Amino acid sequence: MKKFFLLAFTILLSIFIVSCDSDKNENMNSDIPPDPSGVNVPAPTKNNVLPTATFNPVGNRIQINLLGLLDPATNQPLNIAYNVSNPQSSSIFVEEDGVVKGLKVTKVGSGTVLKADIVFLVDNSGSMDEEADSVAASIIDFANFLQASGLDAKFAVVGYDYGVNGGINFTNAQTLSNYLNRSTGTYRTYNFSGADSASLTNRAYLFGYPTGENGVIAAIFADSVYAWRSGAQRVFINFTDEPTQSNGSEWNNAMGCSLLGGKATVHTVFSEDSTYYSGYWSNTNERPWELSKCTGGTIKFIPNDAAGLSLRDLPVAGALANSYLVEYVSSKTGQAHTVKITVYTSTADGVRTYNISY
C-alpha cells in the first residue's frame, strides 16, 4: 500500500509539473497572436529581395533576427509588419512545416536590441593603395555609428590579396579603430592582431591561396574561423577594385553562394565603374558583386580613390538599422523543421526556406 501511494504521488506530481510548465509557456507567449486559419501565403512574383535570418529558440518561443530589406527600386527600407486583425494583408509570412504562424514583429530600436556581427573584407593589394586610407576611415566611422544605433554590434576585419593575409576577430569599435590605425595605406589590414593572432595566422596559411584578389576566400575564412555569436546576423562588406580571381572551380562565386547563402549577406563596395573590365570578365575573373546578388546583399560603386566614402550612405546601413525581431510559437520543439519566410509588398517580394532544428 505504501508503494501504491508513493507511485500515485509521483504521477500526480509529474502531471502538476507538466501543467505548470505548460501554463508558464502559455503566459510567456501570450503576447504572440495565435496561428491564423484560412491564410494563403502569396507567391512572390518579383523575387527581388531575399530574406536572411538567424534563429534563436527560447523554449517553444522562436525568435528570428531578420536583417532589414531594401526596396531595390528606391533603396528605402521595406516596412515589415504583421496585421493581427487581417493576417492575409501582412507583409511577412512565416510557415513552420507548412503551417502559417501567428507573428509578433518588432523593429530594432523600439525597445529591441538585436545582435549583428559585421566583417569588413578589405582587398589590400597594391591597386587599392589610393583608396585604402579612405576605406579605413569609413569603416571606423561606420562601426561607431552602428554601435550607437540600437544594434548590439561586433566588428571584425579580413585583409586579403593572394589569400588571407591579416585581420582581427570580433571586437568593439574602439579596438577595431586601433587595429586599422596601426599603419597607413594597404598595410592597415596586413597581419593579424588580438589574443588569437598566432592561431589566425596559422589558419590563414593553411586555408589556401587563390590565383589573385579574392573576396570569396576572405568571407569563407571569416565564416569558418571567427567567433560568431549565436543568433547574430552575419554581415560581410567587401571592398575591392578587382575581379574575384579563381581557378574557376574553387573560391569562386558559386562556392561562396553555396556556403553563405541563407546564412549571411555579402555587400560589395567596388571602387571602379562597373564597365571598367568590360570584355574582361570570365569564369576565372568574376564580378565580385554577384556574391551580393545570391546572398541578398547590396552593391555600391564608388570612385577609384574612394574620396568622401561614407558607409552610412550605403544600402547596408539602412538594412542593418531597419532589422526586425520576428517571433512565433513552435508547434513542437526538439526536432527538425522546414521554415519558410515570405516577404510580400507591392514593390518587392521574395522567399527563403530554412531547414533547421530547434
In the numeric block, which cell numbers belong to residue 150? 540600437
Residue recorded with cell 510580400: 344
Look at residue 18 in the predicted model and tell me its pLDDT. 47
Main-chain dihedrals φ then ψ at residue 324, nearest 5 degrees: -135, 150
157, three cell numbers? 576585419
Phi, psi of 266 (to 5 degrees): -115, 120
- Model pTM score: 0.84
DSSP tag of 51? -
Q: Give the side-chain half-sphere CA count within 13 A for 49.
A: 31
Instruction: Give the span between the Cα atoms of 166 and 200, in whole angstroms.
Output: 8
For residue 339, the SS3 value is: strand
| 3-state SS, residue 39 | coil
Report the length, in residues, of the chain.
358
| DSSP character string of 269-302 | EESS-TTTTTTT--SSEE-TTHHHHHHT--EEE-
The C-alpha atoms of residue 167 and residue 311 are separated, in whole angstroms, by 19
**What integer pLDDT is reported at residue 274 of this predicted model?**
63
Structure confidence at residue 81 (pLDDT): 97
For the chain, how long is the longest CA-to-CA vector?
91
Other beta carbons within 10 angstroms of residue 182's beta carbon come to 12
Range 312-331 burial, b when 16+ CB lie within 10 A, else e: eebbbbbbbbbbbbbbbbbe
Cα 129 to chain centroid, rounded: 29
R_g of the chain computed on alpha carbons: 23
* CA–CA–CA angle 356, 331, 340 (5° rounding): 45
pLDDT of residue 25: 54
Q: How far apart are CA 29 and CA 147, in angstroms?
A: 30
Cell numbers 566583417 label which residue?
119
pLDDT for the residue 14 = 53
Cell of 49: 529581395
Contact 116, 146 (CB under 8 A): yes
The CA-CA-CA angle for residues 143, 144, 149, to 5°, reads 95
Taking only the tens of pLDDT, the chain with its 358 residues reads: 555 445 555 555 455 554 555 555 557 899 999 999 999 999 999 999 999 999 999 999 999 999 999 998 888 899 999 999 999 999 999 999 999 999 999 998 767 789 999 999 999 999 999 999 999 999 999 999 888 777 899 999 999 999 999 999 999 999 999 999 999 999 999 999 999 999 999 999 999 999 999 999 999 999 999 999 999 999 999 999 999 999 999 999 999 999 999 999 999 999 976 666 667 899 999 999 999 999 999 898 998 888 888 988 888 888 888 899 999 999 999 999 999 999 999 999 999 999 999 9
Q: Cα separations (Å) of 286 from 21, 114, 140, 175, 280? A: 55, 34, 29, 33, 9
